[in-house]
Chain A
């Protein structure tokens, strides 16, 4: 289990948005895709996923529609709205800035003070 990282609170929404941005997915597919793009380091708890999906739909960042999956099962597919795309961009920028700042802080050496 050495590869796994802990999910910081609030980042689940961001990951879902990113996963869905790569192509419309149903709920299980989002789980798989997040695992896939994170190099299997982030495994989402199944219980947290669907409430988050519903919340994102309510906020207008995702839109849901019923369709057929690869193996002809009926499933509800989620895709990004334009608002969702915009939010994804903003959140990603914000995240990157945060990470850069923390990394720089953590790399400080005693000589630099």
Chain B
């Protein structure tokens, strides 16, 4: 692209009229010169000019070629095509509307899903240089334990290693906020003082913690969230001079975080932090010199030093780990094989929704593909009526490439309009669609129509336009001039190639829709099976209400410090709750004892770490999982939930603080650890230093209290009166209204201790279905797409069969005139349609087998090759195809042979 080219370009666009008149003048001058020569050779002036003009030929043809030789010709041609294309579309508004709406549907849906995928999986986290942020994960692969947490000395080692700029352990907890009208439960994150510097975020008012503050215990300052500031403090402008009392301790509010700030957590609870407090993780209430093997810091985030990649940091970290293992051999038994992994922080936040989102994107992509195929079919049908137009254009000199370009431009016009329409609909329905998304989706508040989403919509539109426009465009270019000019308008059986193309498209459409429908069917069956799975406990008529006992920083003022201090409160509470109207049974456990509440289970895992155990008399074998689920419950828990006792006994009054700790295990654990012996009387204990031996006194049946999908997780129940727990769940069985009973429970709890918050009243049925909410969303979405695909496929087959019938009206007339029964005609049409459908089904089934294997991990209880689903969907599709054939078939049947034979 040099200066001359640009000057030429300018001539076309900026001096267009001047260039045109110059062209005219130059050509006229040429003729004059020629005339001069001819005059000199003896002709008269007028004759000479006439001869010169004839010699030269047509002005317009030359001018056109000259114009083409000037730079930028393709733009002019493109604009010409656009003008022509829009005129053509205006002349057949029905077709245009159908095509544009179909594309709008495909592109709108795909863009919607892409915006979710973009905000969640593609965009970096909303912190500065977020690719330098990592999550630190300690594993004991030798003991099959992952994410075991780190200890304070290990944290110090990491900080001093020079790999990280900042490292901050994070400790999620709940606290009781008192001092306002009602005690409230708040989500608290305890972090190192460098946390906000690590993330690179500043509060909108006030300040964060001082990164250099290494004082022992909890710093008496907190930072609160924007949500808490509005909800509890009514957006008080003087918030920075206030203090709050959490778990009876006083803290000064030093900062308020901006609205929309989410902490980078794995669960929704961890992301919606309301209060941040800081400590250097030593000093009361923690130990003054925390030992190396006390892993009480469940999670940690870190920022790498600038310029260091995660891979480089990981190898340096591995070296550090190796040297620490040698240096402190006693704390790192070799059979645990302690390792530390750096996981990108974004992975921690979005890792467990990645697969579902990709599935959704794939499903909606199929819908877009199917709508493209539909429009391609429409275009092919139209092409047969435009054959004459194309032939005439070819006859007067248009090249095949020119015609192809023209048709492709028309397709692009359609797809761009469709894309704009789709985007417009999406924009209008934005708020409604956001409400459909499950609430616990990470980074939900970052979903919006950004530039990358718009770019995606444009690329999708252009891509679709090329995809569905290419075949008809190439097709139309290859027109047999003679044939088309003479025959168009009559019944043409000579468009065999076009008919084959349409058939191929319908089969493709069918196959794609089938794949989508089979995927939806498999997901639906998984969901249905899970919904109807044998729970092993009875959730009906049970509600759970939560409360929390405070943990003051100074243990000496803790009223509920030990299990025996707590026991009278718990006993009295159970007694009072059991007397409430409508209540038949009451029990209390820690919050992990609420069945199937994933967020609470995660909470326990995060704040108390995993329960690693060693079994008396058993060497640790690596094929045993030494990690088990545990919760503490009161004795009536099992009877309330209807979990039968298989051997031994339940907890009773004889078990208290002074007697040895007892436990009840489930059948899966008994069979895993003591397959051929009686587990009663056997002992185990936690690997934490100073843990007491626990004796097994009972075995209960397996129940799906941890996960609907897995029946045989190992489960331990400890006696609440022996272990104590700060986070309590009150379970009530009976006949009452949830709201009413929650108020009554709150009254009872606060009459015993007015500082305790009561929250989270929910029936167990609701809890069980909430545990399926993510799966339910996937099923709903994929199901919606599959139905759309089915509709489009049905329309596709209807279109093709109609077209075939109208094309062959002449032939049908002949057959009828020669004596065929009308029923035979019907059969012919149906057989044709059935043939198409079965071909589509065959291809579809093969593709579906591949796809279902890819989604195998999302399925429960159905094999990816489940014959029932495959057969059922295939039959459904063939049925739909037959229905779609019905109307055209009837039309074929009712052809009047006299009319048909005469029509051209």
Contact = CB atoms under 8 A, between A and B. Distances in A.
B30 interface: yes
A51 B69 contact: yes
B56 A73 contact: no
B33 A47 contact: no
Interface residues of A, number: 24
A57 B4 contact: yes
Given A28-B29, A74-B25, A60 B57 contact: no
Contact of A51 (B2, B25, B66): B66
B71 interface: yes
A54 to B, nearest CB: 4
Interface residues of B, number: 26
Contacts of A28: 29-30, 33-34
Interface in B449-470: none
B26 A58 contact: no
B58 to A, nearest CB: 9
Interface string A27-66: 1110000000000000000110011101101111001001
B26 A27 contact: yes
Contact of A73 (B8, B33, B71): B33
Contacts of B34: 28
Given A27-B30, A28-B34, A58 B5 contact: yes
B55 A51 contact: no
B3 A73 contact: no
B62 A47 contact: yes
Nearest to B70: A54
A96 interface: no
A26 B34 CA distance: 12
Contacts of B70: 54, 58
B27 interface: yes
B159 interface: no
Nearest to A45: B57
B61 to A, nearest CB: 7
A110 B25 CA distance: 58
B9 to A, nearest CB: 9
B29 A59 contact: no
A27 B25 CA distance: 12
A73 to B, nearest CB: 6
B4 A60 contact: yes
A46 B71 CA distance: 21
Contacts of A51: 62, 65-66, 68-69
Given A46-B56, A47-B62, A54 B30 contact: no
A66 B23 CA distance: 12
A73 B57 CA distance: 22
A104 interface: no
A71 B29 CA distance: 12
Given A26-B29, A28-B29, A47 B57 contact: yes
Interface string A65-90: 01001010111100001000000000
B480 interface: no
Contacts of B30: 26-28, 46, 50
A58 to B, nearest CB: 4
Interface in B19-75: 22, 25-27, 29-30, 32-34, 36, 55-57, 61-62, 65-66, 68-71
A52 B57 CA distance: 17
A50 B62 contact: yes
A71 B69 contact: no
Given A73-B32, A76-B25, 14 more contacts: A27-B30, A46-B30, A47-B57, A47-B61, A50-B65, A51-B62, A54-B70, A57-B8, A58-B8, A59-B4, A63-B4, A71-B36, A75-B26, A76-B26
Interface of A: 26-29, 46-47, 50-52, 54-55, 57-60, 63, 66, 69, 71, 73-76, 81
19 contacts: A27-B29, A27-B30, A28-B29, A28-B30, A28-B34, A46-B30, A47-B57, A50-B66, A51-B66, A51-B68, A54-B70, A57-B8, A58-B4, A58-B5, A63-B4, A73-B32, A74-B25, A75-B29, A76-B26
